[in-house]
Amino acid sequence: MVTRLLPLHLSGATVRRRGKRLLGPVDLTLDAGRLTVLLGPNGSGKTTLLRVMHGVERLSEGRITWSGPDDIVERDQAFVFQTPIMLRRSVLANLAYPLKLAGVGRATRNALARDWAQRIGLGDALDTPAPRLSGGERQKLALARALIRKPQVLFLDEPCASLDGAAIRDIEDLLRQARSDGITILMATHDMGQARRLADDVIFMVSGAVHERGNAQTTLASPETKALRAFLNGDILP
């Protein structure tokens, strides 16, 4: 029986650093099975919120409560950063590494790694050192490495920043498939076209706080707040 991690509850979640409030207080519930996009200007707290949920940013105040035990939480979620972190190893070794940590046997993990390499168009580059890949290839590799263990929750921080159209399409296809496979996704992006293409829900942040949230189609078509209307219009927020 699978232990479910979601819903995830944040209550009064606040992060301060050097006397400055970066986040919060945030009261938020993340439900299972949705692709939620975080929107907001630079410095609005999107990355900090992702890091808090993932567990790599400590709260100054408030609580974050998963529905599963800590060991399952650590095992069954993944994070893909804006600048992908590559092991100084081959494509195959990068893909197999998380399976090795999970205790998967060598034959099985190498077979799964080869399968994922094919899915992301790197089937002919298994022995290529990952740092030599292009930006789009590295980002696809980082995403595949996160997905290979079938996490329940996937966090992404601007995964398509500075990528060309072909790489963006490939990554969006991977994300759609992941959502179809039941993976809950929370992703920050500045690309409004991407938000409209992918999002089930949106969360709009300003100055470290959740300013508006709701169904993506409804919220982006008819925002309730002046700030979100201005943001969607391309205005600079104060």
Select the more confidently predicted residue: 120 or 162.
120
Please give the residue range of the domain that contains residue 59. Answer: 8-20+31-85+152-232
- Measured in degrees and rounded to the nearest 5, phi and psi for residue 201 equal -135, 160
pLDDT in the model for residue 209: 96
Query: Is 192's pLDDT higher than 50?
Result: yes
Question: What's the CATH number where 218 sits?
Answer: 3.40.50.300
| Count of CA atoms in the C-beta half-sphere (13 A) of 188 | 22
- Number of domains within the chain: 1
Examine residue 144 and state whether it is found in any structural domain, yes or no. Answer: no
Residue 214: predicted pLDDT: 96
Q: Does residue 236 carry a pLDDT above 90?
A: no
Q: In 10 A of CB 27, how many CB atoms? A: 13
Q: Tell me, what's the pLDDT at 1? A: 47
Residue 111 lies in a domain: no
Asked if residue 129 is part of any domain, the answer here is: no
- Residue 98 in any domain: the answer is no
Regarding beta strands 35-39 and 61-65, do their DSSP bridges make them parallel or antiparallel, or are they unpaired?
unpaired
The amino acid at 8: L
Mark out the alpha helices in the chain (DSSP H runs): 46-54, 70-75, 91-101, 106-119, 135-147, 165-180, 192-198, 216-221, 226-232
Residue 21 pairs in a beta bridge with 16
pLDDT of 145-183, one tens digit each? 999 999 999 999 999 988 899 999 999 999 999 999 999
Q: Three-state DSSP class for 87?
A: coil
pTM of the complete model: 0.94
Binned at pLDDT 50, 70 and 90, residue 237 comes out as: confident
Percent of the chain topping pLDDT 90:
89
* Residue 222 is assigned to a structural domain of this protein: yes
Domain membership of residue 79 (yes or no) is yes
Average pLDDT over residues 99-109: 95
